[in-house]
A and B are shown apart, each in its own frame.
Chain A
């Protein structure tokens, strides 16, 4: 098993590229969906101790969508975490329906679907360009502070390691829409990446 705390530059770069390609395609999908220009922030890969991961998050309410990723052998590859600040998620849902106010159920289901589309294009891109097959699970949805949304996922990662890799980027559009996108890879995804690198 790969120790997450001891990855070298090269391995991190590959992971970053995977995230980059995925996020880029997710941004394209979002742009098509909203019919707007979408900007993508320069992504970052951070390795951190789990206890420090949340220090940078603000304690504002967000809508969070979590998607588990699997490879073809049904190994857990990791999780995609898509976070919409509350104002952005309301705005996205509103714009898609052309309505100011959506009822709770409709709103939740819309954001889940947006999460679904983003994660699917993320996975498509990683398969197309890097031959890394990621199968997304149906989305799970929660509205709460970022820590509360993420801790169930983090607890799964924590079983194996004290460290966590976080690929982070954000998508934004001129009309104040902001989406935060994170990939939390499990060791088995890194193993898949290594295998592909060996073939090069």
Chain B
């Protein structure tokens, strides 16, 4: 089942919430690990904003002050224009580490909430939030898209995911000016004679070409990548050391094609999940082992 994806950013932090039928199934927060709040769900302003945004979407359909129109893409999807204003409580966030660089996202957002959802189940009954504030913004994405092994995916306004990376690498190319982003799940170093996208060079160059064809501005495309770990503690097989070679091959390909590398997180001994947020171009790296329950926002 597909999730509704909501991206919330404030001066102090950013978070992505995935909900299914009004129930939170997953969240990625830039403050995780550094946040001093003990309970995310009752006291975090990011969470409150998302909650109120969702409730407002659902409950205010008939008498919406903002202009609402039916999106042409999907029937029953309500596109909503928001120009809001904030109560001061919203940015009381205790920590202040990563999220300082708030992107200047336009406050016009379109949302993707099904109209027949019964909102009251998890949401707070009080709805006193006003979305007229430059201090934070809420954006609803059109869903999530996962690139499986040896594949790349290109989308606009979708949360891109590359999950379960061991020695593999998740490469993201993005052009924020047009919003066209791509993510590749790379398995092997080098290039392929047959154009197979499991090889680093082939995958990156094909994805680049494809993105330009879909309208991305070649000169504005930048990249981020993560992965290439060495998860084996005890190694008897040299062939398992492919992670490092993957990372080198990806980097060389990006340099060769003159794509700026804005962030990378490679090596180590822990598997990773890579999630890319196309709204502000941040790559979230989540380590698979709970020992380090930290999201890196790059």
Residues of A within 8 A of B (CB): 50-55, 57, 59, 61, 66, 68, 108-109, 112, 137-156, 158-159, 162
Question: Residue B75 at the A interface, CB < 8 A?
Answer: no
How far does the Cβ of B59 sit from chain A's closest Cβ, in whole Å?
34
Q: How far is the CA of A146 from the CA of B148 in the complex (A)?
A: 14
Which A residue's beta carbon lies closest to that of B290? A61
Q: Cβ of A53 and Cβ of B240 under 8 Å apart?
A: no
**Given A59-B163, A142-B232, A147-B271, A152-B289 contact (CB < 8 Å):** no
Which B residue's beta carbon lies closest to that of A141? B234
Q: How far is the CA of A159 from the CA of B164 in the complex (A)?
A: 20
Q: How far is the CA of A143 from the CA of B232 in the complex (A)?
A: 8
Q: How many residues of B contact A (CB 8 A)?
A: 33
Q: Cβ of B164 and Cβ of A54 under 8 Å apart?
A: yes
CB-CB under 8 A from B236, the residues of chain A are 68, 137-140
Question: Residue B293 at the A interface, CB < 8 A?
Answer: no
Considering the complex, which residues of chain B in the window 112-134 have a beta carbon less than 8 Å from any beta carbon of chain A? none
Q: How far is the CA of A141 from the CA of B235 in the complex (A)?
A: 7
Known contacts A141-B234, A145-B164, A151-B187; 20 additional CB pairs below 8 A are: A59-B288, A66-B240, A139-B234, A140-B235, A140-B237, A140-B240, A143-B289, A144-B231, A144-B288, A147-B165, A148-B166, A149-B231, A150-B166, A151-B166, A152-B241, A153-B239, A154-B149, A155-B167, A156-B242, A158-B149
Q: Cβ of A145 and Cβ of B187 under 8 Å apart?
A: no
For B211-244 the 0/1 string (1 means CB < 8 A from A) is 0000000000000000001011111110111110
How far does the Cβ of A137 sit from chain B's closest Cβ, in whole Å?
5
Q: Cβ of B150 and Cβ of A158 under 8 Å apart?
A: yes
Question: Residue B82 at the A interface, CB < 8 A?
Answer: no
**Given A138-B236, A152-B240, A158-B187 contact (CB < 8 Å):** yes
Q: How far is the CA of A53 from the CA of B188 in the complex (A)?
A: 16
Q: How far is the CA of A114 from the CA of B187 in the complex (A)?
A: 29
**Given A59-B288, A139-B234, A140-B237, A159-B188 contact (CB < 8 Å):** yes
Q: Cβ of A149 and Cβ of B166 under 8 Å apart?
A: yes
Ranked nearest first, the 9 interchain pairs of A and B with the lowest CB-CB distance are A147-B164, A148-B271, A148-B166, A138-B236, A142-B231, A144-B271, A152-B167, A51-B148, A152-B240
26 intermolecular pairs with C-beta atoms under 8 Å apart: A50-B150, A51-B148, A52-B148, A61-B289, A68-B237, A68-B239, A140-B232, A140-B240, A142-B166, A143-B231, A143-B289, A144-B231, A144-B270, A144-B289, A145-B164, A151-B168, A152-B232, A152-B240, A152-B243, A155-B167, A155-B168, A156-B242, A158-B149, A158-B187, A159-B188, A162-B150
CB-CB under 8 A from B165, the residues of chain A are 147-148, 151
Question: Residue B51 at the A interface, CB < 8 A?
Answer: no
Residues of B within 8 A of A (CB): 148-151, 163-168, 187-188, 196, 198, 229, 231-237, 239-243, 270-272, 288-290
CB-CB under 8 A from A156, the residues of chain B are 239, 242
Q: How far is the CA of A158 from the CA of B233 in the complex (A)?
A: 23
**Given A50-B198, A151-B165, A158-B198, A141-B240 contact (CB < 8 Å):** no
How far does the Cβ of A69 sit from chain B's closest Cβ, in whole Å?
11
**Given A68-B237, A155-B167, A145-B149 contact (CB < 8 Å):** no
Q: How far is the CA of A151 from the CA of B242 in the complex (A)?
A: 10
Q: Is the interface of A mostly helix, strand, loop or mixed?
A: helix
CB-CB under 8 A from B151, the residues of chain A are 51
Q: How far is the CA of A55 from the CA of B146 in the complex (A)?
A: 11
Q: Contact check: which of B149, B229, B242, B243 meets A51 at CB < 8 Å?
A: B149
CB-CB under 8 A from B188, the residues of chain A are 155, 158-159
How far does the Cβ of B167 sit from chain A's closest Cβ, in whole Å?
4
Which of A142, A143, A151, A153 has the most chain B CB atoms closer than 10 A to its own CB? A151
**Given A108-B233, A146-B164, A162-B196, A54-B149 contact (CB < 8 Å):** yes
Q: How far is the CA of A162 from the CA of B289 in the complex (A)?
A: 29
Which A residue's beta carbon lies closest to that of B241? A152
Which A residue's beta carbon lies closest to that of B148? A51
Q: Contact check: which of A52, A112, A146, A152 meets B242 at CB < 8 Å?
A: A152
Q: Contact check: which of B198, B229, B235, B241 meets A148 at CB < 8 Å?
A: B229
Q: Cβ of B163 and Cβ of A147 under 8 Å apart?
A: yes
Which of A55, A159, A162 has the most chain B CB atoms closer than 10 A to its own CB? A159
CB-CB under 8 A from B150, the residues of chain A are 50-51, 158, 162
How far does the Cβ of A147 sit from chain B's closest Cβ, in whole Å?
3
Q: Cβ of B148 and Cβ of A61 under 8 Å apart?
A: no
CB-CB under 8 A from B167, the residues of chain A are 151-152, 155
Q: How far is the CA of A55 from the CA of B148 in the complex (A)?
A: 8
